[in-house]
Amino acid sequence: MEYKTTGWKLSKDRRFLTLIDTFDAGKFKLIGSRDLNFYQVAEIKRLRVVRRADGYYVQFCVAAERTVELTPTGKMLGIDMGLESFYTDSQGEKVENPRFLKRAEQSLKRLQRRVSKKQKGSKNRIKAIKRLARKHLKVSRQRKDHAVKAARALILSSDVVVYEKLQVRNMVRNHCLAKSISDVSWSIFTGWVDYLGKVFGRITIAVDPAYTSQECPKCHALVKKSLSTRTHVCRCGCVMDRDEAAALNILQKGIHSPLWGLKTYPGALGNATLMESLAATGLSASLSQQAIS
């Protein structure tokens, strides 16, 4: 259920919520670590009552401007997201793919078998379904927690982040990789990269991923590779990890993107354009030296 500014009422101590619309759900005690006294009731623009496998939650959407000023790091990174590693940046550093669903598969299978063995409509079947749902909920929360922490670490470590705009909805049609693609949670990760980029005043750009893993970052020649080929070898003499080469190509695409000179961001870098921001932080728009080194 979602409410705007009417249909609900908070008690004076902000510990009880009363739904006063025609739904007539009554009065609920709020349990949590958030101090609602910090906000005025007029600042709450939305209220959602959400049901999860482990209980009911109330989400308060508050109108607030969140900006944090950081000192420039002088780094710009392109990241290539994958299945073997969660992502590889243009400096060759990799973040491990945790594979939460794969780790929990044996437990999920065992809980699913217990559900199947219970008689339909029985209380024991309902209990078994709840246990299975809580396990799925734990996996989804692990994915989100990892994605948020990885996005925050990435944003704090660099001034410019360029990532590939993947069409995950189309990619999961591949029945061989659909489970692994869903487990890696790319969409959650990129969404938090954009959000935290605005909060911390960092520059984030999404680019088209076409040919980023096939093109040589040094001479820009196409070197066709299958998914099993993990090393980029070009006739120009460029030999490096396939994902690192793709990350360099992604960074170059971001630099030559139309968004490079048009998009503006608030925060530590101010409301200047991206080019002015780079000049202020002393970054160079050329990547040739970085690719060669």
Residues annotated as catalytic (active site), given as ranges: 80, 164, 243
Structure tokens at 197: 């980029």
Q: How far lies 155's CA from each of 75, 141, 149, 160, 259, in Å?
A: 10, 21, 10, 8, 18
* Phi, then psi, of 70 in degrees rounded to 5: -125, 155
The alpha carbon of 271 is separated from its chain's Cα centroid by a whole number of angstroms, namely 25
User: CA 245, CA 209: separation in Å to the nearest integer?
Assistant: 13
Determine the angle formed by the axes of helices 100-117 and 123-157, rounding to 10 degrees: 170
Q: Are strands 8-10 and 16-19 parallel, antiparallel or unpaired?
A: antiparallel
User: CA 100, CA 157: separation in Å to the nearest integer?
Assistant: 25
Structure tokens at 274: 């991206």
Return the DSSP state at 38.
G
Q: What is the CA radius of gyration of the chain?
A: 24
User: CA 284, CA 75: separation in Å to the nearest integer?
Assistant: 10
**What are the residues whose beta carbons fall under 8 Å from the beta carbon of 145, sequence distance 6 or more?**
none
The upper half-sphere exposure of residue 264, i.e. CA atoms within 13 Å in the direction of its Cβ, equals: 5
